[in-house]
Amino acid sequence: MRLDRFYRTRTSPSLSFEFFPPKTEAGEVRFWEAYRALAALGPDFVSITYGAGGSTRERTERIVVEIAREGAITPVAHLTCIGASEESLAALLGRYAEAGVVNILALRGDLPADDPAALAGPFRHATDLIRFIRARDGFAIACATYPEGHPESPHGPEDDARYLKLKQDLGACVAITQYFFNNDDYFRFVELAASMGVTIPIVPGIMPIRDFDQIARFSAQCGASIPEWLAARFAPVRGDAEAMEQLGIEIAIRQCEALLAGGAPGLHFYTLNRAHMSRAIVQALGLHARDRA
């Protein structure tokens, strides 16, 4: 399944899950357990992130190719470009093409704090990577966007909407958002992007909260805001893992219901390689494969 054709013809909201490549053998066992549990729900695709280290990048490729060869679920391979050479990316894309992997999520990647020379390479922005992939036949390209604005964007969502339009013009067929907790931010961004000529689907990224303190720390780094109402809901249960998980499921269900009611073209779950919360949310929403067929 190619993402470009899928999103042109879909008749119901898409369902997808994101995983990261494990760093250890034990982590890989947990990864496949989570993958199998969520694959049973019949997602339209799963995406595998592309880590900063060489070993995790090799695992990304191996896992993506293995999922593709199984043939049950469509894999989307994340690909970051900062610090990469044209030769290395062309070789990887060639291997993906040989393995039948046709969907790429094109990303810049985090700026390396200890390698300023990376900025002198041929790829400084995700748009450079999209252009590079587009020049090679056979791939469908997804991209990322930030409804609240990328942490490096001086003008917040306005910058992201303009860059999203450029990504679309260069060949991206769908955008997946950074996670957020205020749906108004998403809907405002969709409207803003549309006013700038963006027509590709903008799929909201969903982060079920399992550990509030952990998510708060991570959100401070990636530019996702924590609404006061959310902090207040979690305040009485912080320190109680089971209660936080149940509350996280409840809040995510309500968020997803409102997103779908407002016309979101699908849901993309950041699983953190754990199945329980995403599975519970999807089942509560009735987004099983048989219900979306």
Of 18, 61, 148, 245, the catalytic one is 18
In the chain, the N- to C-terminal Cα span, in Å, equals 15
- Active-site residue flag, 18: yes
What is the DSSP secondary-structure string of 204-235? EEE---S-HHHHHHHHHHHT----HHHHHHHG
Q: For residues 185 and 148, is the Cβ–Cβ distance under 8 A?
A: yes
Distance CA 43, CA 113 (A): 36
- CA distance to 177, 183, 256, 260, per residue, from 263 (Å): 15, 12, 11, 5
Q: For residues 229 and 258, is the Cβ–Cβ distance under 8 A?
A: no
Enumerate the β-bridge partners of residue 267.
15
Q: Which helix (H) or strand (E) holds 268?
A: strand 266-270
Enumerate the β-bridge partners of residue 78.
105
- The residues assigned a catalytic role are 18
